[in-house]
Structure 1
């Protein structure tokens, strides 16, 4: 089987110091793992998980058998991570997401935990197959927030489930789906999905027919967006035989290197509740963290989110009130200033003194008749009459009275 039907690519990203992602494309198995824990061993976590899971890469007679094997492998990897932390305390706090896909007789078997993703491109339509195990995804699923709000939510990077050293029996999502020739399966870490839009991923997958070219292009798309996080992409194209073997198998990312445990890596052990993980859209890799899934913690986060939403509404309301007060105050002050101004003009055929200014705001006049004199405008010379009709500005009321007196003298001549 030619290797062109699948591909695996991993890149450290533009800011990360090391690659904590691992990926694998094999004969029947394809995996992406995104390690966490920063210098506490995210690279070690993803490498341990992938190296353990690829032991299942062989033919199974049924999807059910493959599903059981994948689930067992992820559970075993979780136990191995806990054992490694026990032996190497400097790695305390490490963990990893895992998204795996196994090909079995025209079916795909999926095992998933965390926020790495599996997509299916079929007949020009790209769909996300796995669900992110994140706090904001819970809020989206429950209708509390929208997808757009989730993208900028302050808790957007909080994971609820991972493989690590805190839960001996983590909840792993597994499923069996039918696949068909022409399907293209994409496994990726959030270094791709968090920085490259759904539409852009679809365009790249459609525009590049070769799996390797498409995988390389997706990684470049992420790097073009700044990609501070590690980026790992595994592509699987289903051909007429219903398989997509990569011969020989290829391992990328941290799993491609020998495991190294450096006691000096972490001077201070970290606990999983304070783990640093994946950013969504930031200018530098501001790590997020993991919190074990529990009703109490989830309820606490939901209450916090409600309080945050309430504070946001109050802030907006106070801000709106302040803006309205400022506008009203400014308007009142401006109007009061206009009422200190005077000008001379014509009112019902006679010369009059007006309080205010000649301009108006829409239908609202900013002036009113202060006093109408007995001077008939028709008794004025042509020049004086036209000047009055065009209005004559006065510096104050006394100046306006002086102008009227001058006009009176002119009309008497």
Structure 2
């Protein structure tokens, strides 16, 4: 049977925004892996580098072809437990976690292990296939048919993942085997690449050049597409072993450790002569620049500058005394309503109008309006002026209510009506003026 080998490359770039690299990657003759750590104070760089350190123990020729997935599962479990021990030794790291996508080669097959939203792709015969499924909240919405894959690309919660290596929660990796053939090209990448480049763009880049060339171009294209995340790409070609016997680029191939897991830049293995892969490429530099301080510019809303990486993986602890906060909010709202109601009531009690009560012209305090079950006014002073002794016009005005504003104006209105009653009496009515008044409040 034909024996196959991997011709691989790996590159990790901090990107143009972040101050540090949370990604780690590894590529060797038997193992490919990418881990993307949680951001923020929990130190995702430590989580991803710890995971890769444990996983790279898998990079060895398999003794038994039948245990491929068992080895992958054991490697992920070892990485998971290593992070747990790290947190136990350093409680300040509580909450740290990382994704992990692993491809373990045995000469003819690749065992895939996957947790999180880093991805594995297969490029075969001009067609690109996504091998892994993201363990994200947004992916569950896509699976349920609630949003489309296109809508998922811009969903505000697309960074929230549901599974990760954290040494705390139960580990539930996806595990499967892929049969490979000569000419296959594998890509493992963090979401800094897959979240910025559409599948057709990924396929276009993977269709060209060596693994070195493709890896560099993937990183560069991700940054040019606007990725604000770290970008890590591992590319490997599946080749017939006999076809690589006289290939000098293959004979000196060594394992590559990139990102947070390595403090050293890659040396040698350049695309052009002895230069590193960051030089001599068709578009110049990869964009590996000095990181830009992610300060919030003056006048920019906080929501725009907030880093989604800080909220990606670690589950949030429950808020303490949440019931007390709600109670305080309720008390404030009730207090504001009470103050507003008291102010409105006090204002209404300074309003007066002239109306009719039991056939007499009466000064009312309050508002000349009605609400079901609520009295907005009450008699304040009752005069001796009889409504029946007023002219039809005046009587109608009194019945409808005459706005007076303040008490003094109301009393002047009553006095005017008393004078009208005296000078224009109704037939049979007394001509004596009646200007006396009684006060409703005593």
TM-score normalized with structure 2 length = 0.57
Q: 1:65/1:226 Cα in 2 relative to 1: closer, same or farther (>3 Å)?
A: same
The one of 300, 304, 308 equivalent to 1:286 is: 308
What whole-Å deviation, never above 9, does each CA across 1:315-368 have from its counterpart, x for those lacking one? xxxxxxxxxxxxxxxxxxxxxxxxxxxxxxxxxxxxxxxxxxxxxxxxxxxxxx
Give the C-alpha shift of residue 240 in structure 1: 1.5
Task: For CA contacts below 8 A with separation 6 or more, give which structure has more relative contact order.
Answer: 1
Q: How does 1:323-334 map to 2 (within 5 A)?
A: none
SS of the aligned residue for 1:5 comes to: strand
Contact 1:37 1:95 in 2 (8 A): no
Partner of residue 163, structure 1: 165
Partner of residue 236, structure 1: 236
Contact 2:22 2:38 in 1 (8 A): yes
Whole-Å Cα distance in 1 between the matches of residues 119 and 142 of structure 2? 17
Q: 1:178/1:26 Cα in 2 relative to 1: closer, same or farther (>3 Å)?
A: same
Whole-Å Cα distance in 2 between the matches of residues 141 and 63 of structure 1? 34
Q: How does 1:308-387 map to 2 (within 5 A)?
A: none
Give the C-alpha shift of residue 291 in structure 1: 6.0
SS of the aligned residue for 2:312 comes to: coil
Whole-Å Cα distance in 2 between the matches of residues 292 and 63 of structure 1? 38
Structure 2's unaligned 5+ residue stretches are 245-249, 265-303, 317-442
Partner of residue 354, structure 2: none
What whole-Å deviation, never above 9, does each CA across 1:191-214 have from its counterpart, x for those lacking one? 0001111111111111x2211011
Partner of residue 151, structure 2: 149
Q: 1:242/1:75 Cα in 2 relative to 1: closer, same or farther (>3 Å)?
A: farther
Whole-Å Cα distance in 2 between the matches of residues 56 and 292 of structure 1? 29
Q: 1:22/1:86 Cα in 2 relative to 1: closer, same or farther (>3 Å)?
A: same
SS of the aligned residue for 1:239 comes to: strand
Partner of residue 33, structure 2: 31
Contact 1:31 1:99 in 2 (8 A): yes
Partner of residue 403, structure 1: none
Whole-Å Cα distance in 2 between the matches of residues 215 and 283 of structure 1? 29
Contact 1:14 1:226 in 2 (8 A): no
Structure 1's unaligned 5+ residue stretches are 259-281, 294-413
Partner of residue 45, structure 1: 47
The one of 230, 253, 257 equivalent to 1:251 is: 257
Q: 1:64/1:144 Cα in 2 relative to 1: closer, same or farther (>3 Å)?
A: farther
SS of the aligned residue for 2:117 comes to: coil
Give the C-alpha shift of residue 63 in structure 1: 4.5
Q: 1:202/1:285 Cα in 2 relative to 1: closer, same or farther (>3 Å)?
A: farther
What whole-Å deviation, never above 9, does each CA across 1:100-146 have from its counterpart, x for those lacking one? 10111311110110000000000100010000000111111121211
Contact 1:187 1:235 in 2 (8 A): yes
TM-score normalized with structure 1 length = 0.61
Deviation >6 Å, runs of 4+: 242-246
Q: 1:220/1:181 Cα in 2 relative to 1: closer, same or farther (>3 Å)?
A: same
Whichever structure has more helix as a proportion of its residues is 1
SS of the aligned residue for 1:180 comes to: coil
When the two chains are superposed, the root-mean-square deviation of aligned CA atoms in Å is: 2.6
Contact 1:181 1:241 in 2 (8 A): no
More displaced, 184-193 or 103-112? 103-112
Partner of residue 173, structure 1: 174
Whole-Å Cα distance in 1 between the matches of residues 88 and 119 of structure 2? 29
Give the C-alpha shift of residue 70 in structure 1: 1.5
Contact 1:63 1:109 in 2 (8 A): no
